[in-house]
Amino acid sequence: MAALCGLAVTAAAAAQPLKFTKLSQGSSRLPVFGGGVQFQTSAVVLDPLAETFRPQDLALEVDKPTLKSIEQVDSRRRFVLGVLTSWPTRGFKVSIQRVSLQNIGGAQQLCVIAARQPPPEGRVVLQEPTTSYAFVAVDRVAKGTPTTTTVVVRGPHGRLLFVTTRSGVFDTNGHRALPKVCRAS
């Protein structure tokens, strides 16, 4: 039993909380180009050192002030993490509550805890596809070192909201995410 407890402590110690600063939180009309809209939550890492997405790649999903705040981040010291969620109506919010770096078997993943909030009860909302988003600037573990682009997002009560997939556009590390390692508590 002691060996099992020691393993649990080691696994917990492999998670390193990362300091972050809120950049932007908002929503915008979701562009729909033919076909239906899939309402879902996703995450994106913007890190020039890891050759990931660039701020201009998000021009259709976020507003210009958000793009400007992302572009002003000193990429030698920080990278940008965003959680985006799409909805059939306006009024939803998303906020990033915690970011940690997890070392798992020689690979890494970002464990993000994000809260999604519906519009207040009784509030009248527009019926149009909308993207709600939150972006934060995250301090790098080591200055000038690229971050991982593998991300797991959970709600504050533990619900799995997003996982980077091997075939997904966000995975540039060539390894699978391990959602069970990312916990809300």
- pLDDT tens, residue by residue, 120-137: 888 888 888 888 999 999
Q: Is the dihedral of CA 65, 94, 113, 181 positive or negative?
A: negative
Find out whether 107 and 56 touch, Cβ atoms under 8 Å: no
Q: Chunked in runs of 10, what are the mean pLDDT values of the chain (185 residues)? A: 40 77 91 71 91 81 91 94 90 95 88 93 85 95 88 95 68 68 89
| Cα distance between residue 123 and residue 57, in whole Å | 32
Give the domain ranges of the chain.
Answer: 16-181
| Cα distance between residue 36 and residue 103, in whole Å | 38
Name 139's Cβ contacts closer than 8 Å, sequence gap at least 6.
18, 19, 20, 77, 78
| Cα distance between residue 132 and residue 95, in whole Å | 9
Summarize the chain as % helix, strand, coil (round to 5): 15, 40, 45
Please report the pLDDT score of residue 35 as a whole number: 65
The secondary structure of residue 179, as a DSSP letter, is G
> How long is the chain?
185
- pLDDT tens, residue by residue, 38-58: 678 999 999 998 888 778 888
Helices (H), the chain: 2-13, 64-71
Token pair recorded at residue 95 = 């906020």
